[in-house]
């Protein structure tokens, strides 16, 4: 029986993901000069903060057993919308809250449609994706540069981190990485420590049971979609800090990067299992593959090829573990 | 014992649409510290009454009082809040959450700053389960445990919500005898603590073992409430089915007598050391035409798994399978169907019926699959087949157009039976065909099975109720730990003999 415990899917996947990350980091360090450094590590956050934030949001939806493919468009829309408003002279402290509010509304509408009309999440969020992407281009076909001082401050401001005198132990993170840190900590807390978070897992396990156990399924499910869209909007804000521009065709297909981060991090698309920490590590793995591909001087599409292989590997391993655990359970039951 | 009224339901009526009257002026009364059996055949209205009480269905008429206070719960949540909790036949918990969480989700203990206090929750869960003599690792996810344990956890959850009324809806269907005993001791303890328990079951033995009073419903009407100690079984049964049980039983006996005379024909299925990794090992099994072969064994012993392999759901990974003297390799259930095999699976709801299709379409399904999708069965033809079987199997429905999900469990089972009989099979495999079905329909289905064999069909009969196997089968193969452990046949057949093999051949 104790072996089954050790074989728990979430633990195995997450451990595997972390080990894989370390292996890649060591591989890179051994192969390239200057790879082994704190700044290589911190740059993963600098370059992928927006992906991680969006990934954490979508993890909530995935755990309920749903899916949200509208997030990339929401990110793009937020960017274009903010750039457009800032260009028209609106102050950033008004524009950013409105952008986030739009995220909340998009999530609430999608979640309500999915829950109350029992519609497929895929179709509803596909419609959301088209709508948001379309609106981007309605606002502006061209990329709009952002010159707002607050955005510039966030884009350029960095914190130095010094772990030692050697150059390899120095690095910098941008201010906006702190937003990611806050989202991660909040996500961890909500999923582990709040009734809402646990209800998310319960719905993923069995929606009918959750209903019969007296949990508020409607509120929880809609809440998950709101979190997903809100995080997407927040990722849009962070992405604007990162690029200092709003462009409607930005981040096409990036929702699938977020979903694959979650899966590599141990989230099951069938629902009920997953963690935001895993998703963050999953995103970092994608980041480190990108870094290695850059060091190798390869076409960046090699990143996708590698991730494709990884994804296959992970889902097959997850499946094998599940099947094995079931078989062992059968044996245990027969022996009992 | 003091007789304090806990719950009264008065003049409850409920109909679905215009035609179907599920409850007609039904009353029910529950005292504190009482275990009260709610009995009736399928379609008697037990489930509807419970749904009305727990707020799943809205009642049309009637009053419900809980300790003198009028109540009208509109959701299970609301019912739980006022102290009415329910444990269903199918475990309604979340397999991916830990045991402790399944007990406490929705009302978990909190830390100072509002976060869930996991340490305390785990400790509370251990204590609570300890009261039920259960020692589990409460941090493990629920799917690590057997259905029986999951059922206990469900009861622990229900009894901890400061419940005043606990409804147990067929909780024992999937439990072994030992587990049932454990459940009963828990029920008795809760009774002592003053809880009122409504116990819905099909097992009369259990009714007499544990309940104080019995309320019988029939066809949506209230028949009466009786003290368990003052009502004989025969009286109870005739009140439930509204006809003479003895005559029903006699016709079953007659079928069996007839059956004894017909000789088993030639061998139809021959399994030679058949294995499927992780489910059965080196299985030797023969099934002849005209015999009902019983397959017995504890849960997980390989009963259903054997049927799954025979039906091509799980592939043979070792050994040989012969059907009708011909060596075959079944890759897919369709291969099995084409060899004239039929299989009624254990889990009616998820593997058997398609709820949103009509009875007619549900019956035509297997026949259509066998014929291939390009030879469409006309509606007229399907209608003819459906009508034939509705009559033959006495399926209670206004018409073949009725959606199958609106039928009672017993009638759904008959539809599935009809589906496979329509394909004119040579081997019929039945996995727990009478689970959760009232005794009247149970006897009918048993009779159908025996008659089919008498007509020359080979039947594989899997049931966890030993007396049912003893009644229907002339030969019983007993499985243990995924292997064949022994066989009893003819006059040797007895409960003791089968159980001895199950227990491992040691004298019990």
H, E, C per residue of chain A = CHHHHHCCHHHHHHHHHHHHHHHHHHHHHHHCCCCCCHHHHHHHHHHHHHHHHHHHHHHHHHHCCCCCCCHHHHHHHHHHHHHHHHHCCCCHHHHHHHHHHHHHHHHHHHHHHHHHCCCCHHHHHHHHHHHHHHHHHHHCCCCEECCCHHHHHHHHCEEEEECCCCHHHEEEEECHHHHHHHHHHHHHHHHHHCHHHHHHHHHHHCHHHHHHCCCCHHHHHHHHHHHHHHHHHHHHHHHHHHHCEECCCCCCCHHHHHHHHHHHCCCCCCCCCCCHHHHHHHHHHHHHHHHHHHHHCCCCHHHHHHHHHHHHHHHHHHHHHHHHHHHHHHHHHHHC
Q: Please give the structure tokens belonging to residue B398.
A: 């206004």
| pLDDT at site B77 | 80
CB-based contact, B482 to chain A, within 8 Å: yes
Q: Residue B431: beta bridge partners?
A: B462
By Cβ distance, the residue of A199, A211, A330 closest to B278 is A330
Please give the residue of chain A at the shortest CA–CA distance from B118: A193
- Inter-chain touch B76–A5, beta carbons under 8 Å: no
Whether residue A11 has pLDDT greater than 80: no
Q: How far, in Å, CA of B405 to CA of B349, rounded? A: 9
- Inter-chain touch A198–B97, beta carbons under 8 Å: yes
State the residue for tokens 């009353």.
B27
- The tens digit of pLDDT for each residue in B406-417 reads 777 778 888 888
Whether residue B261 has pLDDT greater than 60: no
Q: Which helix (H) or strand (E) holds B226?
A: strand B221-227
Please give the residue of chain B at the shortest CA–CA distance from A202: B94
Highest mean pLDDT among A17-31, B421-435, B465-479: A17-31
Q: Are B264 and B433 in contact (CB under 8 A)?
A: no
Q: Are A32 and A202 in contact (CB under 8 A)?
A: no
Q: How far, in Å, CA of B276 to CA of A298, rounded? A: 47
Find the mean pLDDT for residues B180-185.
85
By Cβ distance, the residue of B88, B105, B140 closest to A215 is B105
- Inter-chain touch B278–A327, beta carbons under 8 Å: yes
- Inter-chain touch A205–B101, beta carbons under 8 Å: no
Q: How far, in Å, CA of A312 to CA of A271, rounded? A: 18
CA distances for A160 relative to A164, A175, B383, angstroms: 12, 10, 79
CA distances for B467 relative to B303, B438, B476, B484, B499, angstroms: 17, 15, 12, 20, 11
Q: Measured between beta carbons, which residues in chain A are less than 8 angstroms from residue B279?
A: 330
Closest listed residue to residue A188, CA positions, set A70, A322, A318, A14: A14
- The tens digit of pLDDT for each residue in A253-272 reads 899 999 999 999 989 888 99
Mean of per-residue pLDDT scores for chain A: 89
Please give the residue of chain B at the shortest CA–CA distance from A212: B76
Please give the residue of chain A at the shortest CA–CA distance from B115: A193
When pLDDT is cut at 50, 70 and 90, the band that residue B37 belongs to is very high
**Of residues B412 and B27, more confidently modeled:** B27
Using DSSP, state whether B90 is helix, strand or coil. coil
Preferred mutation among B91, B94, B464 to probe A, highest tally of A CBs within 10 A = B94
Of chain B residues 308-347, which have a CB less than 8 A from chain A? none
- Inter-chain touch B93–A335, beta carbons under 8 Å: no
Q: Measured between beta carbons, which residues in chain A are less than 8 angstroms from residue B108?
A: 195, 198
- One-character DSSP codes across B455-488: TT-EEEEE-S-HHHHHHH-SEEEEEETTEEEEEE
Whether residue B444 has pLDDT greater than 80: yes
Of chain B residues 82-121, which have a CB less than 8 A from chain A? 86, 88, 92-97, 101, 105-106, 108, 111, 114-116
By Cβ distance, the residue of A214, A330, A331 closest to B106 is A214
For B412-416, which contacts have Cβ atoms below 8 Å and span 24 or more sequence positions?
A: B412/B348, B412/B352, B412/B353, B413/B344, B413/B348, B413/B437, B413/B441, B413/B445, B414/B389, B414/B441, B414/B445, B415/B353, B415/B359, B415/B362, B415/B363, B415/B389, B416/B344, B416/B348, B416/B352, B416/B353, B416/B362
- Inter-chain touch A206–B278, beta carbons under 8 Å: no
For residue A78, count other CB atoms closer than 10 A to its CB.
31
Q: Measured between beta carbons, which residues in chain B are less than 8 angstroms from residue A330?
A: 278-279, 300
Q: Are A263 and A269 in contact (CB under 8 A)?
A: yes
When pLDDT is cut at 50, 70 and 90, the band that residue A176 belongs to is very high
Instruction: Read off the pTM.
Output: 0.72
Residue B33 to chain A, least CA–CA distance (Å):
24
- Inter-chain touch A213–B157, beta carbons under 8 Å: yes
Least confident of A146-150, A316-320, B99-103, B429-433: A316-320
In eight-state DSSP terms, residue B137 is -
CB-based contact, B355 to chain A, within 8 Å: no
Find the mean pLDDT for residues B375-387.
83
Q: Return the sign of the alpha-carbon dihedral for residues B399, B12, B208, B431.
A: positive
| pLDDT at site A195 | 92
Whether residue B358 has pLDDT greater than 90: no
Q: How far, in Å, CA of B178 to CA of A193, rounded? A: 38
- Nearest 10 degrees: CA dihedral of B391, B396, B401, B407? -140
When pLDDT is cut at 50, 70 and 90, the band that residue B262 belongs to is low
- Inter-chain touch A204–B96, beta carbons under 8 Å: yes
Q: Please give the structure tokens belonging to residue B255.
A: 């079928």
C-alpha gyration radius of chain B: 24
Find the mean pLDDT for residues B81-102.
87
Domains and CATH numbers, chain B: 5-246 (3.40.50.300), 259-340+426-508 (3.40.50.300), 348-424 (no CATH)
CA distances for A150 relative to A96, A101, A155, A160, A232, angstroms: 11, 19, 8, 20, 20
Residue A275 to chain B, least CA–CA distance (Å):
13
Q: How far, in Å, CA of B25 to CA of B13, rounded? A: 5
Highest mean pLDDT among A257-266, B197-206, B391-400: A257-266
Find the mean pLDDT for residues B356-368.
83
| pLDDT at site A96 | 96
- Inter-chain touch A213–B146, beta carbons under 8 Å: no
- The HSE-up count of residue B76 (CA atoms within 13 Å, CB side) is 23
When pLDDT is cut at 50, 70 and 90, the band that residue B46 belongs to is confident
| pLDDT at site B247 | 60
When pLDDT is cut at 50, 70 and 90, the band that residue A177 belongs to is very high
Q: Measured between beta carbons, which residues in chain A are less than 8 angstroms from residue B101?
A: 198
Residue pairs between chains A and B whose CB atoms are closer than 8 Å: 91
Residue A181 to chain B, least CA–CA distance (Å):
20
Q: Measured between beta carbons, which residues in chain B are less than 8 angstroms from residue A216?
A: 77
- The tens digit of pLDDT for each residue in B151-175 reads 888 888 887 767 889 999 888 766 7
Mean of per-residue pLDDT scores for chain B: 83
| pLDDT at site B249 | 59
Highest mean pLDDT among A279-293, B296-310, B330-344: A279-293
* Phi and psi at residue A270, to the nearest 5°: -80, -5
Q: Measured between beta carbons, which residues in chain B are less than 8 angstroms from residue A273?
A: 96
Please give the residue of chain B at the shortest CA–CA distance from A330: B300
By Cβ distance, the residue of A202, A211, A212 closest to B97 is A202
CB-based contact, B141 to chain A, within 8 Å: yes
Closest listed residue to residue B432, CA positions, set B337, B300, B342, B304: B304
Q: How far, in Å, CA of B11 to CA of B28, rounded? A: 9
Whether residue A241 has pLDDT greater than 90: yes
| pLDDT at site B508 | 34
Residue B465 to chain A, least CA–CA distance (Å):
18
- Inter-chain touch A272–B94, beta carbons under 8 Å: yes
């Amino acid at each position: 029986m104790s072996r089954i415990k050790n074989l728990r899917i979430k633990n195995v996947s997450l451990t595997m993901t972390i080990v894989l990350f370390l292996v890649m980091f060591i591989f890179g360090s051994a192969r390239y000069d200057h790879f082994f450094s704190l700044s290589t590590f911190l740059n993963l956050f600098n370059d992928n903060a927006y992906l991680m934030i969006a990934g954490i949001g979508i993890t909530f939806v995935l755990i309920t057993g749903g899916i949200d493919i509208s997030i990339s468009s929401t990110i793009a829309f937020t960017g274009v919308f903010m750039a457009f408003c800032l260009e028209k002279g609106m102050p950033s402290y008004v524009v950013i809250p409105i952008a986030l509010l739009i995220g909340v509304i998009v999530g609430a509408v999608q979640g309500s449609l999915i829950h109350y009309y029992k519609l497929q999440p895929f179709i509803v969020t596909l419609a959301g994706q088209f709508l948001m992407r379309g609106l981007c281009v309605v606002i502006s076909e061209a990329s709009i540069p952002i010159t707002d001082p607050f955005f510039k401050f966030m884009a350029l401001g960095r914190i130095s981190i010094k772990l030692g005198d050697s150059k390899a132990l120095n690095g910098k993170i941008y201010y906006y990485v702190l937003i990611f840190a806050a989202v991660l900590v909040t996500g961890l807390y909500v999923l582990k420590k709040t009734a809402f978070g646990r209800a998310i897992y319960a719905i993923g396990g069995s929606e009918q049971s959750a209903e019969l156990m007296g949990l508020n399924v409607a509120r929880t499910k809609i809440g998950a979609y709101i979190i997903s869209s809100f995080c997407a909007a927040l990722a849009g804000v962070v992405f604007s800090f990162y690029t200092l521009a709003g462009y409607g065709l930005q981040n096409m297909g990036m929702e699938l990067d977020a979903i694959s981060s979650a899966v590599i991090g141990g989230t099951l698309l069938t629902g009920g299992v997953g963690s935001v920490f895993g998703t963050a590590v999953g995103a970092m793995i994608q980041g480190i593959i990108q870094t290695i591909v850059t060091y190798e001087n390869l076409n960046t599409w090699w990143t996708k090829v590698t991730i494709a292989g990884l994804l296959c590997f992970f889902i097959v391993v997850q499946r094998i573990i599940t099947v094995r655990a079931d078989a062992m359970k059968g044996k245990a039951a027969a022996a009992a | 014992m003091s007789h304090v009224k806990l719950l009264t339901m008065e003049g409850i009526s409920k109909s679905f649409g215009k035609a179907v009257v599920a409850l007609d002026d039904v009353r029910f009364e529950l005292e504190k510290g009482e275990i009260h059996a709610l009995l009736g055949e399928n379609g008697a209205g037990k489930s509807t009454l419970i749904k009305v009480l727990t707020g799943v269905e809205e009642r049309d008429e009637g009053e419900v009082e809980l300790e003198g206070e009028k109540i009208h719960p509109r959701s299970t949540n609301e019912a739980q809040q006022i102290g009415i909790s329910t444990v269903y036949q199918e475990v309604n918990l979340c397999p991916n959450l830990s045991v402790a969480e399944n007990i406490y989700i929705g009302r978990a203990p909190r830390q100072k700053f509002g976060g869930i206090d996991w340490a305390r929750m785990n400790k509370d869960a251990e204590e609570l389960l300890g009261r039920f003599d259960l020692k589990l690792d409460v941090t493990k996810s629920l799917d690590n445990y057997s259905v029986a344990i999951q059922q206990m956890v469900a009861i622990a959850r229900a009894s901890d919500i400061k419940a005043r009324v606990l409804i147990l809806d067929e909780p024992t269907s999937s439990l072994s005898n030992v587990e049932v005993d454990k459940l009963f001791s828990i029920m008795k303890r809760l009774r002592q603590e003053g809880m009122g328990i409504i116990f819905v079951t099909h097992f009369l033995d259990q009714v007499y073992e544990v309940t104080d009073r019995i309320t019988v419903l029939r066809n949506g009407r209230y028949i009466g409430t009786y003290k368990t100690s003052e009502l004989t079984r025969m009286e109870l049964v005739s009140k439930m089915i509204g006809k003479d049980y003895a005559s029903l039983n006699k016709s079953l006996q007659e079928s069996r007598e007839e059956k004894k005379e017909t000789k088993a024909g030639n061998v139809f299925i021959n399994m030679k050391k058949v294995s499927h990794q992780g489910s059965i090992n080196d299985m030797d099994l023969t099934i002849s035409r005209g015999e009902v072969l019983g397959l017995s064994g504890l849960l997980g012993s390989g009963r259903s798994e054997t049927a799954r392999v025979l039906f091509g759901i799980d592939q043979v990974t070792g050994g040989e399978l012969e059907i009708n003297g011909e060596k075959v390799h079944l890759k897919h259930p369709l291969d099995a169907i084409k060899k004239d095999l039929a299989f009624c699976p254990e889990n009616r709801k998820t593997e058997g019926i398609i709820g949103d299709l009509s009875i007619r379409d549900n019956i035509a399904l297997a026949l259509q699959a066998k014929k291939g999708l390009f030879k469409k069965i006309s509606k007229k033809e399907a209608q003819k087949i459906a009508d034939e079987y509705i009559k033959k199997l006495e399926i209670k429905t206004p018409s073949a157009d009725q959606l199958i999900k609106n039928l009672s469990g017993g009638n759904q089972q008959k539809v599935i039976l009809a589906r496979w009989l329509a394909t004119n099979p040579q081997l019929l495999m039945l996995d727990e065909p009478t689970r959760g079905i009232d005794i009247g329909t149970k006897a009918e289905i048993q009779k159908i099975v025996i008659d089919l064999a008498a007509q020359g069909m080979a039947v594989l009969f899997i049931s966890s109720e030993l007396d049912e196997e003893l009644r229907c089968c002339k030969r019983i193969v007993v499985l243990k730990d995924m292997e064949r452990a022994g066989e009893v046949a003819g006059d040797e057949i007895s409960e003791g003999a089968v159980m001895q093999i199950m227990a491992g051949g040691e004298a019990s």
